[in-house]
Structure 1
Amino acid sequence: MKKIIFATTNEGKLKEIRMILQDLNVEILSLKDLNCNIKIVEDGKTFEENSIIKAKTIMELTNEIVMADDSGLEIEYFNNDPGIYSARYLGEDTPYSYKNQYIIDKLEGVEEDKRAARFVCSIACAFPNGKVLTTQGVMNGRIAYKINGENGFGYDPIFYLPEYQCTSAEISVEEKNKISHRAIALDKMKEELKNTFSRE
């Protein structure tokens, strides 16, 4: 069985990834599984650049196939901030409960048609032979008026999905894995990997 390292320590993210890639017949390991807590400097200007930096850094350390993602929330009213700085928005150790409330407070009184937002995810897969694959997924929605939902993580409790009439923290993990930015990018990557593995 092939082994792929996914460059994350986020258990919520890893659960999603394993569910989506389960039919690929590969073992997905995290940085926690490797006891690897390297600090990677993400100095790219785009989600794609940052995902490539992460994947290549861990691939060069391990000489294994490594996938990494960079994802974040773009809010149109904030000129697409926090964007690539989503995880570090308002400080690296600031809890999401605070970040979410801060965003809702900043948008107080802003009407619905100006609350457009999207989650963006770029995934890179770096191979020891130097090959790098990248895919991207987007989930569109808007910023909710209040925090809602216990599922998901990060900004999910304030990301409102009009078609579901609830936040992405209120839908089931199974449902989210069909529509999320990460799911879309992972599905594309799964096809790329199937094609790559079939040619080996």
Structure 2
Amino acid sequence: MSDAPRVVLATRNKHKIDELRAILAATGVEVELLGVAEFPDLPDVAETGVTFAENALLKAVDVASRTGLPAIADDSGLCVDVLGGAPGIFSARWAGKHGEDRANLELLLAQLADIADEHRQAHFACAAALALPDGTRVVREGRIDGTLLHAPRGANGFGYDPIFLPDGYERTTAEMPADEKNAISHRTRAFQALAQDLAALR
């Protein structure tokens, strides 16, 4: 793939890089995908935006400017209708500290304890951003709608997956095998939409 455009994914998470390679391969888009770990001097970018799109762009623009290569990044989270879209951009730190999945899940369930089934609609949202060194910026979004259960089900996935029941399914995203969940995920949908922009890089 030596003739394919080099693109940097703004993450140090190897799982995310492998996942995106699979998503792009399924769309037929050929890029040489690099992680920021291949650029040891790159600092982490603070996610100071107030929307998923702003945070994704912050990361992509910073990496593109520092590497001189096209860069892509994403930001995502759970949006609960009855909470006005929260946790939203605070999904990963809803209980206070970043990445404490169990605490985040338990806090959200406590906040929704008295909410009836018919009012427990929610969706996972993802914004995927592409930034080029010439200043070009593109954001594509994906979402998956569903409802929230009263108790966790399933051991797969992470975050709020054990209580998220996608519309039209009888299993939570934590009860689905990874390939089934990824096929319908908000992240996959956002990056599939971005694939058309990556295809234009040649």
TM-score normalised according to structure 2 size: 0.88
Could you say which residue in structure 1 is the equivalent of 2:61?
56
> Cα deviation per residue 1:90-136 (whole Å; 9 max; x = unaligned)?
22335101111221122223211111111111111011121111100
Residue 185 of structure 2 corresponds to: 180
CA contact (8 A) 2:92 2:104 kept: no
SS of the equivalent of 2:118 reads helix
The reply to whether residue 156 of structure 1 matches residue 151 of structure 2 is no
Q: CA deviation at 1:12?
A: 4.1
Pair 1:101 & 2:106 matched: yes
Once the two structures are TM-superposed, the CA of residue 32 in structure 1 deviates from its matched residue by 3.0
Q: Does 1:16 align with 2:30?
A: no
Give 1:160 shift: 1.4
User: Partners in 2 of 1:138 and 1:13 — Cα distance?
Assistant: 18
The within-5 A match list for 1:50-129 is 50-129=55-134
Tell me: CA distance 1:59–1:92, structure 2 relative to 1, closer, same or farther (3 Å): farther
Distance 1:98 1:46, change over 3 A: same
* CA deviation map 1:13-39 (0-9, x unaligned): 333222101232222222234335623
Residue equivalent to 2:9: 6
Q: Is the 8 A contact 2:42 2:66 kept in 1?
A: no
The residue number in structure 1 matching 2:196 is 191
- Aligned residue pair count: 197
Q: Percent identity?
A: 34
1:101–1:147 contact (8 Å) kept in structure 2: no
List runs of 5+ in structure 2 lacking aligned partners: none
Deviation of the 1:45 alpha carbon: 2.3
Q: SS in structure 2 opposite 1:21? A: helix
Cα distance, 1:170–1:36 mapped onto 2, change above 3 Å: farther
TM-score by length of 1: 0.89
Check 1:59–1:40 CA distance in 2 against 1; reply closer, same or farther (3 A cut): same
Judge which range, 50-59 or 32-41, deviates more: 32-41
Structure 1 residue 175 displacement after superposition: 1.7
CA-based RMSD of the aligned residues comes to: 1.8
Q: 1:143 and 2:173 equivalent?
A: no
Question: What SS class does the counterpart of residue 76 from structure 2 fall into?
Answer: strand
SS at match of 1:150: coil
Tell me how far apart the structure 1 counterparts of residues 122 and 61 of structure 2 sit (CA, whole Å).
30
Determine the C-alpha separation between the residues in 2 that align with 1:80 and 1:115: 12
The range that moved more, 120-129 or 15-24, is 15-24
Q: Which residue of 1 aligns with 2:171?
A: 166
